[in-house]
């Protein structure tokens, strides 16, 4: 292959890769855009070595942000890595500023079985949710590049946290307050803005109803005090 031809192929390849933006893609998709290369799998290895593409897991890649100019969207990766799923619990609570800690692990809910991935781009965990609860309170957030991912509403993220935290069984309003404000250090103003109907929808599924009832009462009381 001549130098000019190699440069042309390289330029064409970069243009094709940029079109993916922040959206992950499969090994098969990558092979389809490397059809003019004599040894496409060898080319893929070189692309990984020079950080042109980033392996998420075996057979699943994303283009380097240095090529696209678009930051890697971990919630989008989480949605596509294992689905159906939406981001929730600690990661969503941190995203909304409801808890102060920056959460590194991307926590999600799924109707499938529980799953955990420790990958080069981060840790992704999935908790099983029954379908009737899963369908409640899912929002769609759009990235700057117009890709989008699914994430729990603030109310749903907290309800998921309370329902699916293992061995958590709050028996009193005082214990709930201690959990929310002492342990989780939840921002009180966030609770004042909660949609109580969303909490009621979660309660209607029948999981940890007493605990969600205590949360509903707390939010109602705080909203009355603020009004």
Q: What is the pLDDT of residues 93-125, one digit of tens each?
A: 999 999 999 999 999 999 999 999 999 899 999
Q: How many residues does the structure list for the chain?
A: 227
The set of long-range contacts for 100-105, using a CB threshold of 8 Å and a minimum separation of 24, is 100/185, 100/187, 101/185
To the nearest whole number, what is the mean pLDDT of the chain? 92
Q: What is the mean pLDDT of residues 14-23?
A: 88
Question: CA-CA distance, 199 to 212, in Å (whole number)?
Answer: 7
Question: CA-CA distance, 28 to 11, in Å (whole number)?
Answer: 21
Question: CA-CA distance, 50 to 42, in Å (whole number)?
Answer: 13
DSSP of 151-167, one letter per residue? EE-HHHHHHHHHHHSTT
Please give the structure tokens belonging to residue 100.
């102060």
- At residue 213, the pLDDT reads 95
Q: What is the pLDDT of residues 147-172, one digit of tens each?
A: 999 999 999 999 999 999 998 888 78
DSSP assigned state of 120: T
Q: What is the mean pLDDT of residues 133-156?
A: 95
Specify the CATH number of the domain 3-68. Answer: 1.10.10
Ramachandran assignment for 192, one of left (phi > 0), alpha (psi -120 to 50 degrees), beta (any other): alpha
- At residue 95, the pLDDT reads 97
Closest CA to 92 of 44, 33, 26, 160: 160
**Which of these ranges, 10-19, 130-139, 215-224, has the smallest mean pLDDT?**
10-19
Q: Is 191 helix (H, G, I), strand (E, B) or coil?
A: helix
Q: What is the pLDDT of residues 20-46, one digit of tens each?
A: 888 999 999 999 989 888 899 999 999
pLDDT over 70 at 12, yes or no: yes
Rounded to 10 degrees, the C-alpha dihedral 182/183/189/190 comes to -170
- At residue 147, the pLDDT reads 92
The residue extents of the domains of the chain are 3-68, 74-226
């Amino acid at each position: 292959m001549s130098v000019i031809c190699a440069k042309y192929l390289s330029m064409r390849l970069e243009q094709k890769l940029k079109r993916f933006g922040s959206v992950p893609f499969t090994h098969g998709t990558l092979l389809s855009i490397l059809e003019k290369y004599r040894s496409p799998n060898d080319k893929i290895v070189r692309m990984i070595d020079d950080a042109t593409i980033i392996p998420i897991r075996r057979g699943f890649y994303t283009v380097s942000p240095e090529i696209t100019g678009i930051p890697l969207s971990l919630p989008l990766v989480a949605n596509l890595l294992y689905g159906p799923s939406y981001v929730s619990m600690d990661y969503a609570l941190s995203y909304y500023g409801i808890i102060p800690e920056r959460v590194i692990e991307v926590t999600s809910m799924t109707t499938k079985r529980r799953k955990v991935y420790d990958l080069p781009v981060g840790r992704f965990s999935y908790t099983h949710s029954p379908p009737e609860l899963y369908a409640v309170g899912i929002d769609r957030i759009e990235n700057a590049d117009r890709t989008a991912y699914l994430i729990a509403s603030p109310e749903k993220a907290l309800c998921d946290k309370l329902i699916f935290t293992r061995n958590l069984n709050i028996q009193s309003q005082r214990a709930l307050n201690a959990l929310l404000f002492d342990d989780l250090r939840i921002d009180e103003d966030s609770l004042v803005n909660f949609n109580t109907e969303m909490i009621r929808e979660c309660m209607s599924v029948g999981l940890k109803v007493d605990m969600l009832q205590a949360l509903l009462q707390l939010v109602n009381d705080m909203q009355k005090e603020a009004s």
